[in-house]
Structure 1
Amino acid sequence: MSHPEGLHRLPLPGTESLSIQVSPGRLTLLRSGQPLAQVATVEEGGTTLFHLQEARDGEAEAAIRAFCYWHFAANPEQQRLAWRLESPAVGAVQQGLLLPGANGLLQAERSLFWQLPAPWLRAAQGNNYPQLMVMSPDGRRHPLRAPKASGEVYRRFDARLGSWISLRTLDIDLDLERFNRWQNNPRVLEFWQEGGSLEQHRDYLQKLADDPHTLTLIGCFDDQPFAYFEAYWAKEDRIAPFYAVDDYDRGIHMLVGEESHRGPHKVASWLSALVHYLFLDDSRTRKVVAEPRADNARMIAHMQGQGFYREKEFDFPHKRAALMAVEREWFFDRCELC
């Protein structure tokens, strides 16, 4: 197994961090500088087995979770970890962190690990919200949506960039001027066509704030705002008639406003984070869709690099659009989050 140089420390949301001390056949896991556990490694039948040892009292499950995070972040190609534990890990099995395997082994699957909401999901809204079917004013039947989140909803340290990527809900008073500046940028204006005055943009954002099917978000790198996103429930949206929409599909509109945060490496970080957040926000969401302008080749290529496929082209009243989609199974099976 390989551990990229420099990835011996991983910050966690909040004030804590993970670090690893490597010695032959043994890894010492520290949380905020304090020993959390030791993990011994043994080669058996061509497979590396991990043995949890000397875990802090009552924190065996936390140690397994922390070690899996560090290992999957350090090894993006690694799909599973095999564990041999001295005592049952009932909680870890019940939540899907570990799966029972043959010969008493347990396995951590990368595709399951990244579907666990903690600690990335900061404000869980939809996962446990009961289903009640209602009719929208325009006659669309859809589930009643959970109340909108507020504040920070997602945070993760991107080990490749060495930066925090976070999402928070838009605050009209705080964000109006930057939203206005971004929308009037000629590059943005070409595709969004939403240029206007501060008052026009206040009305635009207030309308979305009052709309239960749309959540407005600000993307931040190291807590500095750089992008605006709209996440919407596709069933109630204008996109619904154009494909076989599911009750919990989500859609996205995307705008990078700060020139210093453009580029494919930044897109890979924020787009994967945005999709990750939407899949975590409600485990019933099977697909995330988008409808960029069909001639926006650069954005479409960025999306395809993150697992979106181009289902078709279709006509909105105001544009020729490409229907782009990424499915939950594909996203997590090929998950390269770190």
Structure 2
Amino acid sequence: MSSVNRQIVLASRPQGEVTPDNFRLIETPLAPLAEGQVRVRHHLLSLDPYMRGRMNDTKSYAPPQQLGEVMIGGTAGEVVESRNDHFQLGDRVVGMGGWQEYQTVDARDRGALRKVDTTHIPLSAYLGAVGMPGVTAWYGLVRIIAPKAGETVVVSAASGAVGSAVGQLAKARGCRVVGVAGGAEKCRYVTDELGFDACVDYKQHADLKALSGALKAACPDGIDGHFENVGGLVLDAVLLRANAFSRVALCGMISGYNGEPIPLQFPQLMLTNRMKVQGFIVSEHMDVWPEALQDLGGLVAAGQLKYRETIAQGLAAAPDAFIGLLKGRNFGKQLVQLI
């Protein structure tokens, strides 16, 4: 095992769009383990849109990423050293190890590491469909939108790690599901492979009138539920097509992650239609994780919940892969493979 840990730290805060100069690759020595500690060799890093907000030094639902510290993020790997009776060499685990090759944790801290079974579920899925993105999809759909069979549910960023799971879970509940995605290839994936009833290519509908018209054609009975990952023009178009007593789960606003304003053109429609619009952070609802993970894990193991991954190779590739994620270059869940 190496005696050196390679890490990527936040070197500077972005001014607008993220650039490679905002990150720095460093090496630090690995200290001997103390009693109760576990050392994990990361196989995979998870890259997720929420990381962009944490790079800003602004008030939010979580403290900002500190300069000079390892970039935060979900990880999956194996135990390579242990001074804790609950973890053995070779155990597959997931945690929040960040952008680095090794993680050293006091495994006595509840929730620091979670063992996972890779017999029927690939390790990578525990960072996607059977991890935080999957639980995010499950919570927003099941607990906020709470769709009934026959209702219409719209999902923005429908080909992504969260959106793809939302749509499939909604289809399993008997809904008409319409995705919004960027590009013909992603839209074909959403309908042909994931089973959505329709998908609107926002790149072909650049203004509100066009996008709203496309949604009207795809949702002839209006919209009863919406899972929002993007905001901006997409949300405006959905509001124009929303039915009375429709529900919106606000998961992300990626259209404004670089500091752009995200005005609503017709916010009065939320009142006119008596809508429920609820933002949520899935880490604040840990009570539902066991139920959600059991549901998601069963579906993935049975091949009933499909997902796609974009995988960058090597720790040094993480910054460019993250920038690509923010620009929509990834297809499905964005990961970095270290082993």
With a CA cutoff of 8 Å and minimum separation of 6, indicate the structure with the bigger relative contact order.
2
Structure whose CA Rg is larger:
1
Bucket of the pairwise TM-score, normalised by the shorter protein:
under 0.3
Q: Tell me the TM-score normalized by structure 2.
A: 0.27
Q: Tell me the TM-score normalized by structure 1.
A: 0.27
Higher strand share: 1
